[in-house]
Chain A
Amino acid sequence: MADGDAMSGGLSSLPVAGSEEWKYLDPARFLQSPEAEGSSLDALDPSWVLAGADSLLVFQDGVFRDDLSRLGDGVDVRPLSAMTEDEIRQSRPGRFDPPEPSLHAAVLAQAEDGVHVSVSRGVRAGLVQILEIGSGSGWTRHVVDASAGAQVDVVRLGVALPGRTSISRSVTEFRLGQGASVDHAMLVDGHVRSSAWNGIVARLERDASFVSRQFLFGSSVSRAECHVELQGPGARADLAGLCAQAGEEVADVLTVVRHAAPHTESKQVFQALAGGRSSASFLGVVQVDRAAQKTSARQSSRNLLLSREASVNSRPQLEIWADDVKCSHGSTTGRLDDKALFFLRSRGLSLESARRLLVRAFASELVEAVAREDFRFLLESRLEQVL
């Protein structure tokens, strides 16, 4: 089915604006192709590179930049452009049906390059960093294949070059074999002229563990989709995300977590910090199949509005077909706490400093929970700039 879509450019299964999944955003916004402006980059800003990265794969507008990349040892990391057609086909035949309706199929069809990470059985790989630089139109597709008992960390950083109009679209497919463990984090670091669509699909076998952190900062329009299938008993997904924006940004997050086996567990924490005239929306779908008894699914959405004109929409959607399950969801949207603001001022902090402190405090729950220090510092400094 995916191949069929690929043949027709993936455009036959495009989602429709106004549908439940695309209530606040028109998918067509991600299909434009701005011309690349300026010359291609000849050096990386050091702040983009994580100190702990064992492999660094750099793309500019979807094109692999061999000259700026380096590949580590001990783990099979390759750009798709260095693989044969057969190898690429084998990397994902029928393993993933792209979620529909979605832009996944379109991105898979349009993307000419990406990263293929393959971690052998029982291997504990280091950190693979994927750096995607946007200066025009870019499409990428990545595959992370963790065999039984394998472990790998993947950090993706999408940077929009300042002063240039860019649209980036990226799909990352994760396959986690029995007992495999993947830690994924993503930061989309955008600005008023950048848009970003990011989709991840993860399939987990028995006892596998998938952690994902998504941070959306500052893009004019951004969408993050996270489709997770817990297919084997004991599989666990821990998903969290934060969007932070203070201008006129629109950010849209969709998660679809499907519990297809008993004793599976999912936890989701999604937060939005919205100031200016920005808007953020979260749709969190949890599906529990009839066979998925004894599962636990928790979802929470906490949002902070920093101005009267900002808005947040949060919609949990639970579809539960099993009867012996623990599912919970909660959603709160509030403003800065007046009592806390007054207290801080009465200790000498200006209104501005007090607000900043409380905003940081809100974001810190997810930012400080990031275990990688290099990535956490990057998040903190970017967050400071956005707000």
Chain B
Amino acid sequence: MDQMSGEILLEIKGLRAKAGDTEILKGLDLVVRRGEIHAIMGPNGSGKSTLSQVIAGHPGYEITAGSVVYKGKDLLEMAPEIRSREGVFIAYQYPVEIPGVANNYFLRSALNEHRKHKGLPELDGGAFLKLLRERMKAVHMDPSLVGRSLNEGFSGGQKKRNEVLQMLLLEPELAFLDETDSGLDIDALRDCAEGVNSMKSPDRGFVVVTHYQRLLEHIVPDHVHVLSKGRIIHSGGKELALELEEKGYEWLTGTP
């Protein structure tokens, strides 16, 4: 199986992180190769969202041990904006609302920062709008939301579509989807999953963090991991997700 996958994109070793005085990640290991889709499942409070935030570079977490190497570089040394421009993307569980920042203006600013970083010319208004319309169609996002304040007054489904839209525009190499399925109806779930599937490529790696097996019917993982109490305690193939759905987590975590 390993010989079929690409080079290592992300390697997390013995990662420990705490928020305030509480240690949440307690020695986490994970290797993601290009072309792979990993699912991380686990009960509430196991550290799933913390992992995404730590990868994004959220200042609220202190890394106390371990390493995160991304494309051969120390990810933990990079500022959040550098991680993003280098191709790391987190689709957030709770997308922020920013009143007064127009969605299209924000998207264009972000895309142009990425293009500058890659040495590409910035996109002008017209070219950007064309690209934006195309990508919005792909996730069935309501065109009227384009000029509205970022996520303000968006439904849960539109907020998540907007996260996937950002991913489609920024074309990351490593994407973490943090509980993208939470609070979604079936249409929105399918649209988001299709967005992700359209991005699948031998160069990209995905980490799908979820509580439920439902999303994994649409985004089929190569590897499934169980996160419990800040560590990955069990790994398997896609069939593990079904097993977890059936049996719950208790048989692995040892706690009811």
List A contacts of B59 (CB < 8 A). 342
Q: Is residue B98 contacting chain A, with contact meaning CB distance below 8 A? A: yes
Interface flags, B94-132, vs A, CB<8A=1, else 0 = 011011110001100110011001000000000000000
- CB interface residues, A 261-292, toward B, < 8 Å: none
Q: Is residue B206 contacting chain A, with contact meaning CB distance below 8 A? A: no
| Shortest distance between the CB of A262 and any CB in chain B (Å) | 35
Cα–Cα, bound, A62→B99 (Å): 41
- A353 in contact with B79 (CB, 8 Å): no
- CB interface residues, A 45-98, toward B, < 8 Å: none
- B98 in contact with A347 (CB, 8 Å): no
- A351 in contact with B58 (CB, 8 Å): no
* Binding-face segment, B84-92, B137-145, B213-221: B84-92
- A348 in contact with B96 (CB, 8 Å): no
Q: Is residue A357 contacting chain B, with contact meaning CB distance below 8 A? A: yes
Cα–Cα, bound, A350→B80 (Å): 9
Q: Taking A348-B81, A350-B81 as contacts, is the C-beta distance between A343 and B113 under 8 angstroms? A: no
Q: Taking A347-B84, A348-B170 as contacts, is the C-beta distance between A357 and B114 under 8 angstroms? A: no
Q: Is residue A364 contacting chain B, with contact meaning CB distance below 8 A? A: yes
Interface flags, B65-81, vs A, CB<8A=1, else 0 = 00000000000000111
How many residues of chain B have a CB within 8 Å of chain A? 28
Q: Is residue B57 contacting chain A, with contact meaning CB distance below 8 A? A: yes
Cα–Cα, bound, A364→B149 (Å): 11
Q: Is residue B83 contacting chain A, with contact meaning CB distance below 8 A? A: yes
- B100 in contact with A348 (CB, 8 Å): no
List A contacts of B99 (CB < 8 A). 361, 365
How many residues of chain A have a CB within 8 Å of chain B? 21
Cα–Cα, bound, A387→B185 (Å): 43
List A contacts of B170 (CB < 8 A). 347-348
List B contacts of A346 (CB < 8 A). 56-58, 80-81, 83-84, 90
Cα–Cα, bound, A383→B153 (Å): 27
Cα–Cα, bound, A362→B101 (Å): 9
- B96 in contact with A345 (CB, 8 Å): no
List B contacts of A344 (CB < 8 A). 98, 106, 110
**A residues lining the B interface (CB < 8 Å):** 337, 339-340, 342-351, 353, 357-358, 360-362, 364-365
A-B pairs with the 4 shortest C-beta distances? A361-B100, A348-B84, A348-B113, A345-B80
- What are 26 contact pairs spanning A and B, CB under 8 A? A342-B56, A343-B96, A343-B98, A344-B106, A344-B110, A345-B80, A346-B57, A346-B83, A347-B84, A347-B106, A347-B110, A347-B166, A347-B170, A348-B81, A348-B113, A349-B110, A351-B81, A353-B109, A357-B106, A360-B100, A360-B101, A361-B98, A361-B99, A361-B101, A362-B100, A365-B100
